[in-house]
Structure 1
Amino acid sequence: MASDDRRKDEPLEDGRADSGVDSYRSALRSEEPREPSADFSGPRDKFTAVEERLDSAYGSSSLTAESLSEIVGGCTLEEPARGSELSDREENLLTTITEDGDTILHLAIIHEDRFIAHQLMQLFPQDVLNIQNNLYQSPLHLATYLNLVDVVKGLVEKGASLELQDQEGNTALHVACQHGQTECAGEMTREASPSKLAPVLETQNWRGLACLHLAALHRQHHIMKLLVNKGADLNVQEGTSGKTALHLAAELHDVASVKLLLSRGANVDAAMFNGCTPLHLAVGRQDAAIAHLLCQSGADTMLRNMEDETALDLADGNDDILALFPFDDIQISGRSVGSPVSALFSISGTAASPVEQRGRELFLLHWTNRNRHLGH
């Protein structure tokens, strides 16, 4: 996945910190929307936008873990007053935003200081928990990326939004699917009602990928099971070419994912925008094992794509794949021929009536026409 458009953040500087939540939200409203990228199939660069952001924060000398502790320590409420509101001074201090758009909660998570993060979660009202930095990352995005399971749990329990999208269009659940943060995904979905979770499962990032697509692309089988159990649409099409998770699994030669998706009822004949089914992709990649699984699940071998090709047309002479395709449309002596092998066996008989002989001739003509493009 290309990352050329990702900007590199400058180090944090206290003196250039924003004044508060209102000005940050104003800046967000003026931000131009990002254009979606059509490419999602290539390898990711070593450093993602999140990694660049973390590098920037770790390189900062303006805020250390010790200074975070001092700030929070000065604002911690006494137990009897825990339910009261923060003073203006405390709220201004805790909601001050750096030039990178980070609140002190973002910074505590970046520094992986769980204790301070939990203290801040108790102090902050819900809307502050959902502030996004300049890369549109909420605290939940960062906690998920860093696999801080207890922090993710705390944020979800405090009402942090699951629907916020970062600059790549990813929700925190997308991040969990991409990086294999199974426990974080579990915390985000465990107590969520179907009505609350449905919009998250349906959300596609700027590459057109829903959470299930990302989990399939990264072979995250446990997360795939979790998403399906929580109601993810098995047949949702990604936005660039119309692939379902089953198409992606077939492309990746991922037998485990194919078995999982088929066992849960995925549409074996789902068509991409160009008409290709998972069987087209499996046969085109000479994957006899996955083609066999798809045929066992009832894949229609005669469906044609927009190039007017059936899956058989893509077999390229692979005998293991050709053996999967029935020849029920060919009959000799009133009996269907089940495969090229049985057809040839029938033809090799010594005795033949005129009707049988004519049937054999028609079969040979049919077989020749079917395989002319293969040079046979």
Structure 2
Amino acid sequence: MASHDCTKEHLPEDNRTDSGIESYRSMVKSEETRGPSTDLSGPRDKFSGGEEWLDSAYSSSSLTVESLSDIVGGCTISSSNQQVQSSELSEQEQEENLLTTITEDGDTILHLAIIHEISPLAKNLIQIFPREVLDIQNNLYQSPLHLATYLNLREVVQSLMEKQVSIELQDQDGNTALHVACQHGQLECATEMTKDFSPSKLAPVLETQNWRGLGCLHLAALNRQHEIMKLLIKKGADLNIQEGTSGKTPLHLAVELHDITSVKLLLGSRANVDAAMFNGCTPLHLAVGRQDATIATILCQNGADKMLRNMEDETALDLADGNDDILALFPFDDIQISGRSLVGVKF
């Protein structure tokens, strides 16, 4: 009987032993369908998980795109060693308070400038603000780097990275800004975030899992972001990292998606072809269970062990379900006498 964990038809979306690929991809597809809006009166869906708006400015006539520029017009923060008179200091303090005002939704003016995609203003604010202000997270735990990455504002991301902002901050879904780049295919932003880090310094972010148990390479594989996958691999990403719900590696996810390009990329980078999920299923189990003879062949050509058993004591052959193309990959492997395989036995 075919394994409930290795075949597609036995993988309900709400099964906690599965990574929830279909439901997750549906959510991502829904987000991508909406896409960034050029209507500044309603970009709420880009960042909100429900009906809540990211910042109060969208429903307030007191704050507009033009007024954002007016707010910071002529405002500068002097260096700490500059001597000023008491009256001047009071004015300076007022300017600083204005620049660091936080809305009821937790947004700084920098958040708002990025949301409204006013890159020149955002870059000026980045130069004015100290790092601790640049790392402020709003009520959805989004830092300016999260928002700039989502909106693919490469120059803003570059400016933030030059100020050495944190790339380890996680939003309400547990995603770092690099997770966001991997999910939405923002290659240029991902490049900016990783270019000045050695593999050892970048490892903590690459190993971070969001609240769905997915790391950066998992998200890139799930969304078929092949160029970002290449970037992460070059930066030393763990090819065999397991997601937190069912223990799938990026190779398992690529097999489930029938993504031949990702499968070849991962195997060519020396991903473990026999990596096992928590239930013991290997990528070959998944390929055969999904009747994907092409990927099953690729896995076998790369040395997949056909006789490995999952926790239900099934080999990949047990899941072939009469598929002749797949059965051709297993000549006589299932024939045994007294528990001994006849493979390699001479008569």
Task: Identify if the C-alpha distance between structure 1 residues 262 and 206 changes in structure 2 by more than 3 Å, giving closer, same or farther.
Answer: same
Question: Is the contact made by 2:274 and 2:282 (CA closer than 8 Å) also made in structure 1?
Answer: yes
Code of the aligned partner of 2:275: A
Code of the aligned partner of 1:316: D
**Structure 2 gaps, min length 5:** 1-17, 33-44, 83-88, 337-341
Q: Distance in 1 between matches of 2:137 and 2:309?
A: 46
Task: Identify if the C-alpha distance between structure 1 residues 274 and 120 changes in structure 2 by more than 3 Å, giving closer, same or farther.
Answer: same
Q: Distance in 2 between matches of 1:297 and 1:60?
A: 59
Name which of 236, 243, 253 aligns with 1:231.
236
Aligned length: 298
Q: Distance in 2 between matches of 1:213 and 1:189?
A: 17
Counterpart residue number, 2:64: 64
Q: 1:44 aligned to 2:40?
A: no
Task: Identify if the C-alpha distance between structure 1 residues 148 and 59 changes in structure 2 by more than 3 Å, giving closer, same or farther.
Answer: farther
**Comparing 59-68 and 227-236, the one that deviates more:** 59-68
Question: Is the contact made by 2:54 and 2:140 (CA closer than 8 Å) also made in structure 1?
Answer: no
Tell me the CA shift for residue 57 of structure 1: 5.1
**Structure 1 gaps, min length 5:** 1-36, 339-355, 360-376
Q: Distance in 2 between matches of 1:247 and 1:119?
A: 44
Q: Distance in 1 between matches of 2:205 and 2:257?
A: 25
1:320-335 mapped onto 2 (5 Å cutoff): 320-327=325-332
TM-score (norm 1): 0.74
Tell me the CA shift for residue 159 of structure 1: 1.0
Q: Distance in 1 between matches of 2:103 and 2:267?
A: 48
Tell me the CA shift for residue 88 of structure 1: 2.4
Q: Distance in 2 between matches of 1:63 and 1:265?
A: 53
Name which of 201, 205, 214 aligns with 1:200.
205
Counterpart residue number, 1:362: none
Q: What SS does the aligned partner of 1:74 have?
A: coil
Name which of 167, 170, 174 aligns with 1:169.
174
1:135-146 mapped onto 2 (5 Å cutoff): 135-146=140-151
Task: Identify if the C-alpha distance between structure 1 residues 281 and 38 changes in structure 2 by more than 3 Å, giving closer, same or farther.
Answer: closer
Q: What SS does the aligned partner of 1:44 have?
A: helix
Question: Is the contact made by 2:56 and 2:104 (CA closer than 8 Å) also made in structure 1?
Answer: no
Code of the aligned partner of 2:74: G
Q: Distance in 1 between matches of 2:105 and 2:221?
A: 33
Name which of 80, 87, 99 aligns with 2:104.
99
Counterpart residue number, 2:138: 133
Name which of 178, 186, 190 aligns with 1:181.
186
Question: What's the CA shift string for 1:228-259, capped at 9, x where partnerless?
Answer: 00010000000000000000000000000000
1:230-309 mapped onto 2 (5 Å cutoff): 230-309=235-314
Question: Is the contact made by 1:143 and 1:152 (CA closer than 8 Å) also made in structure 2?
Answer: yes
Q: Distance in 1 between matches of 2:286 and 2:335?
A: 26
Tell me the CA shift for residue 326 of structure 1: 3.6
Q: What SS does the aligned partner of 1:327 have?
A: coil
Q: Distance in 2 between matches of 1:224 and 1:47?
A: 21
Q: Distance in 2 between matches of 1:110 and 1:262?
A: 39
Tell me the CA shift for residue 166 of structure 1: 0.1
Code of the aligned partner of 2:71: I
Counterpart residue number, 1:73: 73
Q: Distance in 2 between matches of 1:96 and 1:309?
A: 61
Counterpart residue number, 1:119: 124
Which entry has the higher C-alpha Rg, 1 or 2? 1
Q: Distance in 1 between matches of 2:332 and 2:81?
A: 77
Q: Distance in 2 between matches of 1:39 and 1:258?
A: 19
Q: Distance in 2 between matches of 1:239 and 1:115?
A: 40
**Comparing 244-253 and 320-329, the one that deviates more:** 320-329
Code of the aligned partner of 2:228: I
Code of the aligned partner of 2:27: R
Q: Distance in 1 between matches of 2:66 and 2:138?
A: 22
Q: Distance in 2 between matches of 1:329 and 1:286?
A: 18
Tell me the CA shift for residue 54 of structure 1: 5.5
Code of the aligned partner of 1:94: L
Q: Distance in 2 between matches of 1:288 and 1:158?
A: 50
Percent of aligned pairs with the same residue?
75
Q: Distance in 1 between matches of 2:232 and 2:166?
A: 18
Counterpart residue number, 2:3: none
Q: Distance in 2 between matches of 1:60 and 1:292?
A: 59
Question: What's the CA shift string for 1:87-118, capped at 9, x where partnerless?
Answer: 42222111111000000000000010011101
Task: Identify if the C-alpha distance between structure 1 residues 104 and 225 changes in structure 2 by more than 3 Å, giving closer, same or farther.
Answer: same
Tell me the CA shift for residue 329 of structure 1: 7.7
Code of the aligned partner of 1:284: G
Q: What SS does the aligned partner of 2:123 have?
A: helix
TM-score (norm 2): 0.80
Tell me the CA shift for residue 164 of structure 1: 0.2
Question: Is the contact made by 2:55 and 2:103 (CA closer than 8 Å) also made in structure 1?
Answer: no
Q: Distance in 1 between matches of 2:298 and 2:58?
A: 48
Question: What's the CA shift string for 1:321-342, capped at 9, x where partnerless?
Answer: 01112436869xxxx768xxxx
